[in-house]
Structure 1
Amino acid sequence: MTPPAEAELQPRTVAVVSWKAPLIFGIFAVLFTLLPLLAPRAGVSTFRLTAGYEAIKLPEMVVPSTPTAWVAAVLLFVLVGISVVFTRQHRSMPLWLISAYVVVLLIGFLAWASAGGTLPMIGLLAGALALATPLIFGALGGVIGERAGVVNIAIEAQLLAGAFSAAVVASMTGTPWAGLVAAMAAGVLVALVLSVFAITYYVDQVIVGVVLNVLVIGLTTFLFRQVLGPNTATLNSPRPFSRIAIPGLSEIPLIGPVLFRQTVVVYIMYVVVFVVWFGMYRTRWGLRLRAVGEHPQAADTVGINVARTRYVNMMIAGAIAGLGGAFYTLVSVPSFNREMTAGAGFIALAAVIFGKWDPVRATLAALLFGFATNLQGVLSVIGSPVPSQFMLMLPYIVTIFAVAGLVGRSRAPAADGQPYIKS
């Protein structure tokens, strides 16, 4: 038996239990339950699962609106109970539980909101992917930059500069491929300016990023009015990328028309997501990238050039974000308009935080934001009673709750935003 004096000297381990995730789950479950309780909707909801040109056509899924919402509410409370069990066992919330909760919540909400109407799922998902594509490129650039220890507030500037350069160069050369390269170069240039001030001269990274955003907005607006406006035919009429259907894959029911009837920019996005994920966790480049973002002093000790590593990765991040800007003028709208990114860089930055500085999670967060943004347009078309303003602010509400603990502890790289001064 341990003597009392020795027992007092034994180290004590205090387990901190966070109930934030179950609490947020419970709040959303209660709020959702109020929909069928206070505003039940008669009729059925029809989910159209095909676009009409697939080889294999799925039948429409017709469900009773209010009963489906009640079933979803019950399942939500079951998932809340599971989250309570995980918390009591001092275990973190698994990704499958969060995903299941979001899926059930979305299905129940869509069934309630689309009562008496037909919801085109192909159009909803394809539109969500289109809106999310530049966000994904921006979020990947943000993940790389912040993993290297540089807060990339200038994602908005990189997207906007990429959109402007892609439009001008593609118009002058007559090929969208040249515009794509120009967009990458513009993103690299913005990232280089940010890197010089943040890495070499130790200027506050947030301030430099904000200044760059304002500078690029002002510069592109000025050039749009003075140069592009009077010369629209020659400088602001790029030939956009056309859609390419991948044989076989594009015929897969539901996901085929959404994922594999896209432009080359979207296919590049698929590749970039995989390459960034694989490189970050499976290669020496990724190990060095994470090292200089977590502990630059230790990285320097083992021979890693911290400044050069940060410079290189910021250039890569800028090029990827520039690709996202090219999507606006070479895919979405075949011309440049002032401030056409409309704050997408800040939503991408929110996706970085929501995704816990992980490329795959950040991609999923960007897809969620794109889905919420596109959903408000689809619901307004089918006459849903949900205010469109609520759907527009939903991504930001989700971000706040996510950072508060919905996805577990959200911790930035230890040296993120801190200049490294070699002693």
Structure 2
Amino acid sequence: MSALTRPGTVEDRERTEPRAGRRARGVSGALLLLVGLATVVGWGLGSGPGDATFSFGGDTVVTLPDLTLPGTATPVVLGGVVALLGLYQLARGFRSRRTPLVAGVAVVAFVLAFLAWAMSGGEGSSIDVVRLLRSTVFLATPLILGALAGVLGERSGVVNVAIEGQLLTGAFTAALVGSLAGSLGAGVVGGVLSGAVVGWLLAVFAIRYRVNQVILGVVLNAAALGFTGWAYKALMQSDTARFNSPGVLQPVAIPVLSEIPVLGPLLFEANVVVYLMYVLIVALQVVLFRTRWGLRTRAVGEHPKAADTVGVPVLRMRYVNVVVAGGMAGLGGAFLSVGTIGPFTENMSAGKGFIALAAVIFGRWTPKGAVAASLLFGFFAALQTLVGVLPYGSAVPASFLSALPYLATIFAVAGFVGRVRPPAASGEPYPA
């Protein structure tokens, strides 16, 4: 057998690779090549004479030294790396398990090149990496909690388009209950319960009455927006001191852990909702893929008839999981009000539920994937507020940065990070 016909060669792969796979590989490779060249030309050759300095602040015992990179060479090198990844993808193609890693490397390289370019227009420009990442976690917290709710719902077979409404009612109830009870803890509990109530409504109409789940989610979102808007004007605006002055949850530094350089100020100087989010991320990942309950949940989301045949209570599993998912999103809503600014404002969620739904898709319906996607959205949201003060940052429209995560979601759905398939029975009603 000659070298040209041995299994694993380019010719052999071209014969065995499906046409759709070759097309996806060509599109993703061309995209990487285009991004790499654009980075070299736009950020590299268009940079200024200054350097880019990344500082690692934080009030810790041990601090890391600043990292200074050349403003011109850095984008050129990073863009070249992305372009080479694109050429390899076009020529041979990465294995499906490696494509998410390749996509992550390309995103990191693009962002670092952009920041180096933005700082190259003047001397002494720097970015506090810890501050940027703290803002990322802060802005991503409600998205993560909403995305976890979406993952749990869809893994159970119910599409949760009502995440927006659950966030909004959670924020409203947390502020209202916290004000009336004089307790931020009571406000957080109220936010969780109100989100669970919206989840229960979603479960009843979607599971028992088999209403189209997408339409139902839109209706629940509209109802939440209308109710909270009316109650805000009728109660909170008329008597702010009584109905809309809950206070704000203060950060709690965990001893020892908060002193770790970078990670300490980033992860362990937060309020209680953020710590609860950490617990939920780990718990949901473990429960879904390491427990009997998780196996049953995935079974009713993939093949409910087969699950019913072996004695799994399909409808009860869906009811419980959708209500629990609503409580998770309600906790995210509580963070929007009592976890950030305190008082509730009209339409406080501002579309974050739909961003969380996009994170579910981008994260391939897994908790860790949804968290990573939510952090990506949060990072670009934090970046918008930072680049405006950099020498070249004002030349970049904020809409450009805010659009990047959505473009990444489209590429993910198109197969750029491997096969993306929702649970087979997601959105499909099951007869009682």
State the TM-score bracket (shorter-chain normalisation): over 0.9
State which of 44, 50, 71 in structure 1 corresponds to 2:57: 50
Structure 2 partner of 1:404: 414
Structure 2 partner of 1:5: none
Structure 2 partner of 1:275: 283
Q: Does 1:95 align with 2:100?
A: yes
Tell me if the contact between 2:236 and 2:244 (Cα under 8 Å) persists in the aligned partners: yes
Alignment of 1:116-195 (within 5 A): 116=122, 117-195=125-203
Structure 2 partner of 1:352: 360
TM-superposed CA distance for 1:92, in Å, is 4.4
Return the alpha-carbon distance in structure 2 between the equivalents of residues 248 and 85 of structure 1: 50
Q: Does 1:219 align with 2:222?
A: no
Gaps of 5+ in 1: 1-11
Tell me if the contact between 1:162 and 1:187 (Cα under 8 Å) persists in the aligned partners: yes
Of stretches 146-155 and 69-78 in structure 1, the one that deviates more from structure 2 is 69-78
- The one-letter code of the counterpart of 1:15 is P
TM-superposed CA distance for 1:82, in Å, is 4.4
State which of 285, 295, 300 in structure 1 corresponds to 2:303: 295
Tell me if the contact between 2:43 and 2:113 (Cα under 8 Å) persists in the aligned partners: no
Compared CA separation, residues 397 and 98, structure 1 to 2 (3 A) = closer
- The one-letter code of the counterpart of 1:401 is F
TM-superposed CA distance for 1:91, in Å, is 4.1
Return the alpha-carbon distance in structure 2 between the equivalents of residues 260 and 108 of structure 1: 29
- The one-letter code of the counterpart of 1:114 is M
Tell me if the contact between 2:33 and 2:84 (Cα under 8 Å) persists in the aligned partners: no
TM-superposed CA distance for 1:86, in Å, is 5.8
Return the alpha-carbon distance in structure 2 between the equivalents of residues 203 and 374 of structure 1: 38
SS where residue 337 of structure 1 aligns?
Answer: coil
Structure 2 partner of 1:64: 70
Return the alpha-carbon distance in structure 1 between the equivalents of residues 108 and 134 of structure 2: 17
SS where residue 371 of structure 1 aligns?
Answer: helix
SS where residue 415 of structure 2 aligns?
Answer: helix
Compared CA separation, residues 244 and 25, structure 1 to 2 (3 A) = same
TM-superposed CA distance for 1:413, in Å, is 0.5
TM-superposed CA distance for 1:39, in Å, is 2.0
Deviations 1:131-183 (A, max 9, x none): 00000000000000001111100000000000000001111111111111111
TM-superposed CA distance for 1:300, in Å, is 0.6
| Aligned-residue CA RMSD (Å) | 1.7
Tell me if the contact between 1:113 and 1:386 (Cα under 8 Å) persists in the aligned partners: no
Return the alpha-carbon distance in structure 2 between the equivalents of residues 238 and 82 of structure 1: 56
Tell me if the contact between 1:21 and 1:83 (Cα under 8 Å) persists in the aligned partners: yes
Structure 1 partner of 2:81: 75
- The one-letter code of the counterpart of 2:35 is F
Return the alpha-carbon distance in structure 2 between the equivalents of residues 203 and 143 of structure 1: 20
- The one-letter code of the counterpart of 2:71 is S
Return the alpha-carbon distance in structure 2 between the equivalents of residues 317 and 273 of structure 1: 12
Structure 2 partner of 1:329: 337
Tell me if the contact between 2:99 and 2:418 (Cα under 8 Å) persists in the aligned partners: no
Tell me if the contact between 1:24 and 1:406 (Cα under 8 Å) persists in the aligned partners: no
SS where residue 406 of structure 1 aligns?
Answer: coil
TM-superposed CA distance for 1:90, in Å, is 6.0
Return the alpha-carbon distance in structure 2 between the equivalents of residues 80 and 14 of structure 1: 18
Return the alpha-carbon distance in structure 1 between the equivalents of residues 43 and 272 of structure 2: 43
Structure 1 partner of 2:7: none
Tell me if the contact between 1:24 and 1:401 (Cα under 8 Å) persists in the aligned partners: no
TM-superposed CA distance for 1:100, in Å, is 2.2
Count of residues paired in the alignment: 409
Of stretches 272-281 and 173-182 in structure 1, the one that deviates more from structure 2 is 173-182
Alignment of 1:16-55 (within 5 A): 16=19, 17=21, 18-19=24-25, 20-36=27-43, 39-51=46-58, 53-55=59-61
Deviations 1:1-45 (A, max 9, x none): xxxxxxxxxxx9763423133233223222222313552222111
Tell me if the contact between 2:31 and 2:86 (Cα under 8 Å) persists in the aligned partners: no
Structure 1 partner of 2:258: 250
Q: TM-score, normalised by structure 2?
A: 0.91
State which of 14, 18, 21 in structure 2 corresponds to 1:15: 18
Tell me if the contact between 1:354 and 1:365 (Cα under 8 Å) persists in the aligned partners: yes
- The one-letter code of the counterpart of 1:392 is S
Return the alpha-carbon distance in structure 1 between the equivalents of residues 17 and 109 of structure 2: 35
Deviations 1:305-340 (A, max 9, x none): 111110000011001111100101112111000001
- The one-letter code of the counterpart of 1:100 is V
TM-superposed CA distance for 1:278, in Å, is 0.2
Identity of aligned residues (%): 45
Return the alpha-carbon distance in structure 2 between the equivalents of residues 58 and 35 of structure 1: 31
Structure 2 partner of 1:7: none
- The one-letter code of the counterpart of 1:260 is F
- The one-letter code of the counterpart of 1:162 is G
Tell me if the contact between 2:175 and 2:338 (Cα under 8 Å) persists in the aligned partners: yes
Structure 2 partner of 1:9: none
Return the alpha-carbon distance in structure 2 between the equivalents of residues 347 and 75 of structure 1: 30
Return the alpha-carbon distance in structure 2 between the equivalents of residues 343 and 14 of structure 1: 40
- The one-letter code of the counterpart of 1:375 is L
Tell me if the contact between 1:21 and 1:408 (Cα under 8 Å) persists in the aligned partners: no
Compared CA separation, residues 90 and 374, structure 1 to 2 (3 A) = closer
Tell me if the contact between 1:135 and 1:344 (Cα under 8 Å) persists in the aligned partners: yes
Return the alpha-carbon distance in structure 2 between the equivalents of residues 195 and 86 of structure 1: 47
Structure 2 partner of 1:104: 109
SS where residue 347 of structure 1 aligns?
Answer: helix
Compared CA separation, residues 199 and 86, structure 1 to 2 (3 A) = farther
Return the alpha-carbon distance in structure 2 between the equivalents of residues 393 and 157 of structure 1: 23
Gaps of 5+ in 2: 1-14
Tell me if the contact between 2:154 and 2:423 (Cα under 8 Å) persists in the aligned partners: yes
Q: Does 1:419 align with 2:429?
A: yes
Q: Does 1:391 align with 2:401?
A: yes
